[in-house]
Structure 1
Amino acid sequence: MEIRELRYFAAVAEELHFGKAAQRLEMAQPPLSRAIARLERQLGVTLLERTSRSVTLTEAGAVLLSEARSILGAVTAAERRTRQAAQSRPRLVLAVKSGTAGGLLAKLLDAYRTEPDAATVDLLLCEAHQQRELLHSGQADVALLHLPFDSTAGLDSEMLYTEGQVAILPASHRFSGRSQIRVAEVTALPELPMARWPDHGGSYPEGPGPEVRNLTQLFQLIALGHATVIIPESAAADLRRDLAAVPVLDAPPVTTVIAWPPQSRLRAAADLIRVATRL
């Protein structure tokens, strides 16, 4: 198999539409279809089930998609790191979900800057569950993830710290002045439905609450009285004045970890990880 063939297959497998995949690849659809058919003949398996109305992945296709993402991610990372090697000072990409781990992030970057031969750290702010994909695709070198919400499957990681969770309510809400609250009380508020985050596949669970992807959007909805949420304590740091954070007594703890691809050999990444675990 060639890298080009894997790129073609990954595009079709992710779009599940030959026309959209061709647009994404900036090529015509007929040669793309021929390339996928040639790949299937080469492997001796059916990767995609095609009808006049839909395209679906076979079990073999799902396996190849997972492998293709890892391979293409490694290729992307190799290209980026090779270019960086020619620069006078190395660069490191750290993926962080927007609005989270603010206190830790500031301490980590300040401490890392004092390291001998510290690389330039580029922050890649992302939305829910994107950090793992950014690592696998080679767009990021290291990432901060939060268990149990994020998955570390296929990654190496080190635990940094564990914290409790808080409910975010409008400052004017009758529960905003309480010293603590329980999960059942938060989820039972009819006037403030629980906001819904996408899962690892990008789908939203069923429920009456609004669909959200980042904390800026979420906090605006809560301030307007359209939602509530239970999130890690650190995500509520420097909370806007029209919101209140109330500790949730029985919410499961959240563990922040620093994660990286297992094949990584970057000295700068190893140095950043060492500083993070020391903090």
Structure 2
Amino acid sequence: MELRQLRYFVAVAEELNFGRAATRLRIAGPSLSQQIKSLERDLGVRLFERDRRTVALTAYGETLLPQTRALLEQADALRRTARGFAASEPVRLGYVSWRPSDLAERVSGVAQLLVDTWVMPSHTQAARVADGSIDLAICWVRATDLAEQSLAGQLLGADRLFAVSSGDESAVRARDTVVLVDADTEAWASWNIYAVEFARATGATVERIEDHGITGPAYFDHVRRLGRPVVTSPKRDTTPLPRGFVRRAVIDPVPVWTWALVSRQGEARPAVLAAVEALTRDVKLDLEPGVCWLPADDPFRSYQA
């Protein structure tokens, strides 16, 4: 027996019509009927007498309805109390270069979110969650990273990467692009891993650099020097696009960079759990199989199924 089944019971009892109750609950009619039957099996009594035209409460249903309403009200009160506790507890969140623009609004009334001002690489932010320095991190991680550091990751967003070159704005095939890999493996560890695997999987060219030119003016200098489309990293860059340069979609396949909301496995703090639920609720990733590319160890590859 689940609370949602009890809510279904109350809705049908109030509407005395499965169709109207299903519309009110925003579920399919057959699913509602199955859930009511399951509840009746769990309780061992029939709650409704129904035929093709009418629905009526049985004597058992009449007796259980007020008790069910009281139980649901207790559950709602418990949830409100827990949310009140959560809202008073600070939750520290770190990020790399991107965070949702409505971050504060999503957790308003659920948790007191403290956004850490230290913008660090993905692997560093994940490690800070693991050692307890922060509670949550928005970063790029591999399934291996999560397992080795006893972390959990939920999808928060995704970027479709593009390329920059001079000339026309037509789409460019992945195999005809260049990816930059920097010698500073501490600052660019996650990007380097992604870029090298992308090149191996698609035939793109790896260009090794030593000037942190993954972003900024140095990036555009490399585009000029190479004379080929160079894939951009997901790091947000405010440097204006130089005259004569264009952004070009990358296809066959489309490189996708995922952002995970990382927390500790077994996290029990109500505020942290409430923040995770609020931030990741209804987040979806539409990845067409065979069209989009993710690294083999990306924890969200199953979204392509």
Larger Rg: 2
TM-score of the superposition, structure 1-length normalised? 0.50
